[in-house]
Chains A and B, each alone.
Chain A
Amino acid sequence: MEYDFIVAGGGLVGSSIAYGLARQKYKVAVLDGGDRSFRASRGNFGLVWVQGKGWDYAPYAQWTGQAADLWPQFVAELVNETGVEIDYQRSGGMHFCLNEAEWREREREMEMVRQHTGGAFEYEMLDHDRLQQQIPQVSNTVLGASYSPQDGHVNPLYLLQALQQGMDAHQVHYYPNQSIDRIEAKQGGFYTHSTEGTLSAEKVVLCAGLDNRRLGEMLGMDIPVVVDRGQIMITERLQPFLNLPTLHVRQTAEGTVQIGYSHEDVGLDDGTSPSVLKKIARRAVLMFPFLARVQLVRAWGALRIMTPDHNPIYQQSTDCPGAFTVTCHSGVTLAAMHSGPVAEWIGGSSRPDLINQFSTDRFNVSPG
Chain B
Amino acid sequence: MFRLVDETSVDTLKLSIEGREYDVPVGISVAAAVLLCGITRLRNTPVSGSPRLPYCMMGICFDCLMTIDGFPNQQACQLEVRENMTIEIQQGAAELLQQR
Q: Which residues of A contact B (CB under 8 A)?
A: 137, 236-241, 254-255, 289-290, 293-295, 297
Contacts and interface: CB of A to CB of B under 8 A. Distances in A.
A239 B46 CA distance: 9
Contact of A238 (B47, B65, B93): B93
A256 to B, nearest CB: 9
A215 B16 CA distance: 63
Interface residues of B, number: 14
A206 B98 CA distance: 49
B32 to A, nearest CB: 22
A228 B52 CA distance: 41
B96 A255 contact: no
A167 to B, nearest CB: 27
Contacts of A255: 46-47, 93
Interface of B: 46-47, 62, 65, 72-73, 92-99
Please classify the interface of chain A as helix (H, G, I), strand (E, B), loop, or mixed, using the class held by over half of its residues.
Answer: loop
A343 to B, nearest CB: 33
A188 to B, nearest CB: 52
A198 to B, nearest CB: 42
A254 B47 contact: yes
Contact of A237 (B94, B98, B99): B94
Contacts of A295: 73
22 contacts: A236-B72, A236-B73, A237-B73, A237-B92, A237-B94, A238-B93, A238-B95, A238-B96, A239-B92, A239-B93, A239-B94, A239-B96, A241-B96, A254-B47, A255-B46, A255-B47, A255-B93, A290-B96, A290-B99, A293-B97, A294-B94, A294-B97
Given A236-B73, A237-B73, A254-B46, A137 B93 contact: no
Given A295-B73, A297-B62, A237 B96 contact: no
A290 B98 contact: yes
Contacts of A238: 93-96
B91 to A, nearest CB: 10
Contacts of A240: 93
A235 to B, nearest CB: 9
A342 B62 CA distance: 42
A200 to B, nearest CB: 45
B73 A289 contact: no
A39 B72 CA distance: 33
Nearest to A254: B47
